Structure 1
Amino acid sequence: MTTAPTVRSRAVRRIPVGAALLLVASAAFHTLVLALDGGPWDDPVSWRKPITFGLSFGISVLTVTWVCRLLTLPARSRTLLLGAFTAASLLETGLITLQAWRGVPSHFNTETPFDTFVTRALAAGGVTLIAVVVALTVAALRPQPTAAPSMRLALRAGLVALTGSMAAGAVMIAYGLTLEGAGRVAEAYRSAGFLRPAHAVTMHAVLLLPSLAWLLSRTRRPEAERLRLLRVTVAVYGAGAALVTTAAAVGLTFATPATAAAVSAGVTTAPALVFWAFGARQAVREIRASTRPIDRVPTHGPHQAAPVGGPDDDRRLDA
């Protein structure tokens, strides 16, 4: 009775995971292209865009696949949301990569009918991503009886931050389209990405915070202590994200927006990977310990074990 739904659920997860690995592989390939071909890093036409979008969307699809399993969602809603997010991520990265190989800007480009179509399709993909993230955030804010309090806090804070990241992206797209509509295309290329550091630092909180909650769940810390640690982490992260957002809004960055965005994303995702590495090592140890053969002691027959510690010892050997 449960075999068919289980197989279907696994198939639903395999497609997004395969798509995410494809996006990450694309980012790795274009990193090699950048190393061999060279070219600018910050310009509207750059190999940076296939690299950063492929890596960021690949990580995001994997994260959303995991988050959808943690949230209490109807199976149909989970499939629909995960499918829409995966399709939109592939669309965004694919079109951006196509334009990079054509040697033309991907956003705010209306030079030809095809370029206009790409620009509008990217905007539509962004709207889809925002709708999915908002739906997941609303679901996370509802009661989650199967999740520990620390994981509930991590999921809610991470998805709220992701919603803020989508909002920053929407602001940049709207600002750039406004400039492009006014005929100020060069200015749109130059200044529309001013919130990229804020967009990057808030995008992967949904990976960072639940990863920390998962790692803490692998320890012997009581849940009350884990919850306190998550609250402190969320507060520190929120303060840092607010500082980065404010600095980006007023034009104060330590580097160009593209470089600052890449650094911000790395600062967010690197600790999450470390959390998973430590948690995975501990999980492997537990699996090995549970599968280690047990030395059995005979409890009957001529080789029955003698009582330990003399006749008054009340300890018993487990067979």
Structure 2
Amino acid sequence: MDEFRNERSGTGSAAQFVRWDGPRLAVRELARRNAVLCGVAALQTALLVAFLAGIALDPRTVGGDPVWLKPATFAGSIALFTATFGWIGYHLPVSERFLRRVSIGIAAAAIIEIVLIGGQAGRGVESHFNDSTLLDQSVYAIMGVTIVVMTALVAWLLVRSWRREFDVAPAFAWGIRAGIALFVVGAFEGGAMVALETAALGSGQTVPVTGWVLSGDFRVAHFAGLHALQALPLVGYLAAVAAERGSLERPVRIVRLVGGVYALVLLALFLHALTPVIW
């Protein structure tokens, strides 16, 4: 049975990323890399299951959607974010003490966020863009602060590690850099929704399930930016592996090209969300 390799052996091999051998070993490895964020990911996963059960058992709706749908969406998103960042953050060339402190800050913000969203769902009211009462205004303000703090901590880690040497292949390292950078951009794009007090400036036809407005919706750009954290490190890893096998030349250039295209798509999606205002 293949075991996970020691990531800090310093060889710079892309193969250091992971040797997949089932979810149990993956969880064990994530806990070894970042116990704090692993714990948060586990908690959010448990909450996701609970919120999904709530959708099935609780007939209440908010804004036409099941009352527990938004908490379930956020729990799943936070679980994926903390698990991914706990995994790739291990490669960032910063001290373990610094990484742990930042991880604790991210964990605290993530827990506060889901508690507030779940609490508002329990009350049967909207958690976002809700200024009906002083309590609702306060909850929304705190949520905004926690997201800004979380994103700033991620950005701080990236800045501290940007010019330092990673312990993995250069292509994979660039995938990690680009993924985190565009995640930060995507997170702050969500600030446009807060500033304009709406998720979409357009109206009309929507995307099934997600409810995204086709004529202009900030949530599309926000979604794309957040998931750069998974997409670009994976591109970097695959490029590095292909280069090691001799099937790809200049893997770093490929990763930078993909990252540049991803950034342009992210910009285009954001401008599309602004279309109703621009035109």
Whether the TM-score (by the shorter chain) exceeds 0.5 is yes
Take 2:266 and 2:129, find their aligned partners in 1: how far apart are those partners?
27
8 Å CA contact retained: 2:60, 2:66? no
Take 2:56 and 2:177, find their aligned partners in 1: how far apart are those partners?
39
The answer for the alignment partner of 1:214 in structure 2 is: 237
Give yes or no for the alignment of 1:82 onto 2:107.
no
> What TM-score, normalized by structure 2, do the two folds share?
0.71
Counterpart amino acid of residue 184 in structure 2: T
Secondary structure of the residue aligned to 2:266 is helix
Counterpart amino acid of residue 53 in structure 1: F
Take 1:237 and 1:90, find their aligned partners in 2: how far apart are those partners?
30
Q: 1:50 aligns with which of 47, 65, 71?
A: 71
Take 2:98 and 2:250, find their aligned partners in 1: how far apart are those partners?
34
Q: Label 1:57 to 1:251 Cα distance change in 2 as closer, same or farther (>3 A).
A: farther
Give yes or no for the alignment of 1:205 onto 2:238.
no
31-40 or 114-123: which moved more? Answer: 31-40
8 Å CA contact retained: 2:44, 2:75? yes
Counterpart amino acid of residue 26 in structure 1: L
Take 2:63 and 2:249, find their aligned partners in 1: how far apart are those partners?
46
Q: 1:159 aligns with which of 180, 184, 188?
A: 180
Give yes or no for the alignment of 1:169 onto 2:194.
no
1:209 Cα deviation after fit: 1.1
Which structure 2 residue ranges, 5 or more long, are not aligned? 1-29, 199-212
Q: 1:246 aligns with which of 249, 259, 271?
A: 271
Take 1:174 and 1:65, find their aligned partners in 2: how far apart are those partners?
30
| Higher relative contact order, chain-length normalized (CA < 8 Å, sep 6+) | 2
> What TM-score, normalized by structure 1, do the two folds share?
0.63
Instruction: Provide Cα deviations, 1:32-54, integer angstroms capped at 9, x if missing partner.
Output: 33244456586588322111111
Take 2:73 and 2:264, find their aligned partners in 1: how far apart are those partners?
25
Q: 2:163 aligns with which of 127, 142, 153?
A: 142
1:11 Cα deviation after fit: 7.0
1:221 Cα deviation after fit: 3.6
Which structure 1 residue ranges, 5 or more long, are not aligned? 1-8, 178-190, 253-319
Give the length in aligned residue pairs. 231
1:176 Cα deviation after fit: 2.3
Take 1:118 and 1:218, find their aligned partners in 2: how far apart are those partners?
46
Secondary structure of the residue aligned to 1:147 is coil
